[in-house]
Amino acid sequence: MLSSLSEEVDESGQLALLTELCELLSFCSDSSLSSLMVDSFSPILVRLSRHESNPDIMLLAIRAITYLCDVNSRSTGFLVRHDAIPVLCQRLMTMEFLDVAEQCLQALEKISREQPLACLQSGAIMAVLSYIDFFSTSVQRVALSTVVNICKKLSPESPGLFMDAVPILCNLLQYEDRQLVESVASCLIKIGDQVRRSPNLLDEMCKHGLVQHTLHHIGLNSRTTLSQPTYIGLVGLLVKLAAGSTVAFRTLFELNISNTCKDILSSYDLSHKVQSTLTVDGHHNRIHEVLKLLNELLPTNTPEQDNQQKSEKEDFLFSHPDILKKFGVDLLPTLIQVVNSGMNLFMCCGCLSIINKLVHWTTSDGLYRLLQTANFSSFLAGVFTRKDHHVILLALQIVDAIMLKLPHVYLNSFIKEGVPYSLYVLFSPDKDLKDSPVFDGIRMENDAALKPASRGVHRCPCFAFDICQSSKSPENGTCKLEKDTVQILAKRIWISYFETESVNPEKGVTDVLQKLRTLSTALTVLVNESQEEATSSKLEEDFSDLLHQIMSELKEEDSISTFEFVESGLIKSLVDYLSNGRHIGQEVTHAADHFCTMGKRFEVFGQLLVSSTDPASEKSLILALIQRLQNGLSSVENFPVIPSHAYRTRNYYATVPSGHCTPYPCLKVQFVREKEENCLRDYADDIVNVDPFVPLEEIEGYLLPRVRNNKTGNSTLRSEDSKLKDSTCSPSPSDSSTPQGKSAEDIAPMVDVEELQEVKPNLLSSPTNTSSSAQKVMDAAEDSVDQEGHNPLQQEASTSTDSEDTPASLQLYLEGQELNCKSTLYQSILKQQTGTEHDSMSIATLWSRVYKITYGRHATTERIHCKRSHDESTLSLLCEKTFSQYTPYFCRMFISNAEAEELGPSYDVISLLKSLEGINRLRFQLMSRETMRVFAEGRTDDLNKLNSAICEVHQNEFVNKKLTEKLEQQMRNPIAASVGAMPAWCTLLMDWCPFLFGFEARCKYFHIAALGRLPNHTQSTSHGNNGGGSSGRHQNPRKKILVHRNKILESAAHMMELHSRQKVVLEVEYSEEVGTGLGPTLEFYTLVCHEFQRSGLGMWRDDCLVSLFGLFPRPWSPSQTTSSSTLHSEVIKKFTLLGHIVAKAIQDGRLLDLPFAKAFYKLILGKELSLYDIQSFDPALGRALLEFQAVVERKQYLKSHCEDSSRDVDVLLRNTKIEDMCLDFSLPGYPDYVLASGLDSKMVNLHNLEEYVALMVDATTKSGIARQVEAFKSGFDQVFPIRHLKVFTEEELERLLCGEHVLWNSDELLDHIKFDHGYTISSPPIANLLEIMKEFDLKQQRAFLQFVTGAPRLPTGGLASLSPNLTIVRKHCSKGIDDDLPSVMTCANYLKLPPYSSKEVMREKLLYAITEGQGSFHLS
């Protein structure tokens, strides 16, 4: 063929040979063509490409060149040598034949991949782009792909080769096709990077509308959704343009860039939506780039620049004060919000740098008006508590600038917010300021801040925004700040502005602060008096009056600053009042009286807060107090965010506490017996590998039997330890539970073998599972503690020996410091290293160091850290039934001394916030109690208030944005594959006060804690993380299951029996149907949910298909379970299966269509139900029982105030005697349920009404449903421990299980639906579809979602969270366009829609499809 083409043959012969060559090349492989052969073909094909007379020969020759590039990657070099690129470019520039031009583009795209520089030098960019508008979209994409390849090799020395393309590229930037726009943006970003040092070329780029088009694409109203890298690149392009081009600088201000940036910063949910691809340092994300842009738009305010001639940018700002004013008004509140949200160091520095420049360039009058838009003094006072010298320096510069321009305006405001006191601490770190929580925080930060910094460029904010001002900065990448910069500036500001004002931080206070301290002291005195003497009515009145005084002071919004509120001591006094002085786990005498007092005070304080809403004020008292506490918490907390510790990604082996593989490195530990410890042995081995992320109590459990002084068993343990050293990690599933040859005692020496056998199925997991098998054993042990009230681990340890010298537990020490067994070894090491002078060195050697851990006998027989400071058995001693309903709340009100020490100065603030959260949650209960009390005292006969709706404070008000962002940053750490890898404060607060964190953050934490990985949608974007530990965030393997539509429950039961204990993602395939994957699986879960709601199952109250108030278990009496044992056992089995289904759905990320009642969610979360919960699932019964309880309390009140206590009293309910209601002792609606034996024939009267109410509540919420609830929990626990759900509220758990109630609104349809393959957003059929979707009612929305996705509800977050995105594509009809029906690909959320002739036809076809097209999956 080669020789024939080389000869002179006629055109028909050449056509035949070229056709044959193209067919041959299309089937060739890389090895079938030698380089010599390619080199021989290249000049011939290039020559034939020049054939002017026959376009077919040209077409086939160029096609052969394209195929040649595909077959042999080295062929591009030969083609370039034989001038193929100029020939192809010439064909494109002449544009005689469209098909030839398209083939040229295909060939150039192949060549440009390997030879971009040759293409650039041959003028390929302009050849490709000159006639691009003549081609179809798919060919345009090929052309732009070629330009993208060429732009990778641009050279600033030859701008003429690419600058001519800028006008065409700017025009293409207006197109709607996303792929096209992405390619154009990539080209412009590369060009901008090459010419960034040439102001003239940058100005030239701006003349073609580049700034306008770029702003359109980064704005929120852009119709084209760009990928994250492209979006960030476009913002970076604007940064370069603003830095080097005066034209761009002016244009950005004229186009209102401040408003665009404000929208971006405001809409980007700082607490919850930060992408997981971001590094902990915050580089290369959109917020960082936007802040860089804003920094470039404000010239640097260095002293050297002030003495120079004003630049053009400065002249522009001075001549346009209105523009600068609008810039500040738009951005200042948003920048303050970003800083207050707790964003990382780099974001905080960027915002403060912008604010600093804004204050510098704004005139005094303009600054006065600008700063009135925010509480700027309070903001700056909070900034001083940040833990970095860069941040503090910027805050000092801002204070200096403000005091220079507005000294009399802000002097008193700064004093009120404690700014002078912060300055004083900064340059006088050794002064004692009376244990101030705020000053303690500043002092700690000051110690770490003023040391010389030697961190690299990637760790120092000096290089993020060029925010530091030292001209002597070294060029080696170290920090620019000198050691005493902060101290010197703080002292200068103090001397200049505050020293002459008689401000003495050691003595002086503001009048408001003094008044608050007086109230705080008075409350403390009353609390102490109440502990010394019995509580009297006089003392209660004093408490009430004082609380009213305190609340009246606090409700004044602007009169008290955050500094004054925190420093006054009021928070601690209120906590002491509510806890009756039992602060941080103090011992209590007369526990019953103590907790009764706590209950009364909780009720009094709660009723004061929830009943004091001023109708004239939009803010309630409780909300005002919550917001003050949130501000106070943000100002005093100093919880550390630990940076990523790099390590090699491979499998590691942990010997302790159980031999298992980990995807993260282990810590090298040497266990050493404490000196003078004679009751313990030396540990046999020298250095062992310890899993860093398991609790220390597991390590102690491993160590204890190996160091006991008993004579038996130790030799076996030592031999087993030596075997572990020689073990190797195997990728087989057998390693996921216990290593071969290891006994149960080796993994958990203190766990019963029988107990381990029960737990063993739960240990099945994939080899890459980050949670150890020992952790799972401990999880099961903790569950048994929760259920039975004792710990089998401690029990066996305490009874294993009769010797008094044998310890029941060990105490571990690291460098002389006692370790908390609830923490992990990693957390303990971090806690010791945080804030040390050798912080950087310690972190660098974290994994290579050998840690010496000393062990000794525990000082006490009770492990103080393994039990909460409260004792639940003590709580059962509550003497008054009236207050027993608050017992579950008090169980979690306090934490141990060690845990409180971990929280530091934040403890009191968080304690009071927890009390307010409990008051808000029990608001209906508190108001009902108040109504009953008023009724009991005879002040009203109206009980309708028992049924009135209570307006609660939204749960989001309890979320602290700063803490949420810190947790988000910590979870973005690649090593955070386990909660044990996070600082101890994360676990402590999530366990004690989860409401402090946003819902999305808690979802991520839950997935890490319970499932050992981040949510799937987070993992899908984590490819940008190159840090070690990514293998810990693995995807579970998938398992395909065959099910039968006519036996849904049976199939579900069989599926769960086989796979519920395995960490595999279940996917469903229906028998005799071809569909499989996400859509059929979601539909399967939906069908299972509907089966569970069928009538006749005996599972739910009001046994019907749909309950108006949600599904709640039907009560079964003990007598019924005996007589109807078969039916009841089936009910128990179904609840067990339901537990399996719910847990597996959460584990696999599937949505359920189960409308559980709120009270049932409370049971799932382990909360107790009371009389006040019944109304939520049975309003009629709940109201009746509340009214009965009110009658009971009125009778008790009358008897207590009657001289003759034996005389009967008569109380009517709505003018009716209780006896006249003809109630018997059976459960209403369930006549076979007898409430108590011997009472079935007895009627309810006023004397036994209290007993009747108690029995009704017990049957409805406790004993009558206990077995069903336990069955559900046991089924759930077989998948993963149900206790991990406790981080959610009932409403949030419903969102997690079932998705969103409101499916979509008209505004979000355009934002979150993708249009492709023949459709764009402006296509007429798309406009019709969107109108139809907006007109759907809720039932039609559910049907549409069921049809397109397989589930009738959207995941949490709505359409935005649907993954993959809902995509609408054009369906090519085989017949007329109005004859075909829409079809779907549920696995991809893909709707194939014909281009119907009218909206009416589309509506008819779509409704028919979504209603009749359910129930099967076939090819479409």
> Is the sign of the CA dihedral 1177, 1178, 1183, 1184 positive or negative?
negative
> Is the sign of the CA dihedral 1255, 1257, 1263, 1265 positive or negative?
positive
Mention every residue, 6+ apart, whose C-beta is less than 8 A from residue 150: 112, 116, 119, 120, 124, 125
Tell me whether residue 1277 is exposed, middle or buried, using C-beta atoms within 10 angstroms of its C-beta: 0 to 12, 13 to 18, 19 or more: buried
SS3 1314: strand
Q: How far apart are CA 775 and CA 759, in angstroms?
A: 11
Catalytic entry in 187, 348, 986, 1387: 1387
Structure tokens at 285: 């994300």
Pairing of strands 850-857, 817-818: unpaired
Here the contacts of 873-878 (C-beta below 8 Å, separation 24 or greater) are 873/789, 874/588, 874/591, 874/595, 875/591, 875/595, 877/591, 877/592, 877/595, 878/592, 878/595, 878/596, 878/599
Q: Dihedral (C-alpha) 68, 74, 77, 83: value to the nearest 10 degrees?
A: -10
Q: How far apart are CA 417 and CA 212, in angstroms?
A: 43
**E strand spans, 612-703:** 652-654, 660-662, 667-673, 688-690
Answer for the pair 265, 290: CB distance below 8 angstroms, yes or no. Answer: yes
SS3 214: helix
Answer for the pair 560, 506: CB distance below 8 angstroms, yes or no. Answer: no
Q: How far is CA 1279 from the centre of its chain?
A: 23
Q: How far apart are CA 1291 and CA 1356, in angstroms?
A: 12
Q: How far apart are CA 1225 and CA 1231, in angstroms?
A: 9
> Angle, to 10 degrees, between the axis of helix 437-449 and the axis of helix 389-405?
110
Q: Where are the alpha helices (DSSP H) in 274-427?
A: 286-297, 303-306, 312-319, 321-340, 345-361, 364-371, 376-383, 389-405, 407-416, 419-427
Phi and psi, residue 1227, nearest 5°: -80, 120
Which amino acid does the sequence have at 140?
Q
Answer for the pair 950, 607: CB distance below 8 angstroms, yes or no. Answer: no
Q: How far apart are CA 417 and CA 1002, in angstroms?
A: 33
Q: How far apart are CA 108 and CA 142, in angstroms?
A: 9
Structure tokens at 999: 């819902």
Q: How far apart are CA 76 and CA 124, in angstroms?
A: 15
Answer for the pair 1019, 1033: CB distance below 8 angstroms, yes or no. Answer: yes
Q: How far apart are CA 271 and CA 1202, in angstroms?
A: 59
Structure tokens at 557: 């919004």
Known active-site residue 1387: yes
How many secondary structure helices (H) and strands (E) does the chain include? Answer: 67, 16
Partners of 1390 in the β-ladder: 1367, 1385
SS3 1156: strand
Q: How far apart are CA 1414 and CA 1393, in angstroms?
A: 17
Q: How far apart are CA 1029 and CA 971, in angstroms?
A: 12
Answer for the pair 414, 420: CB distance below 8 angstroms, yes or no. Answer: yes
> So which residues are the catalytic ones?
1387
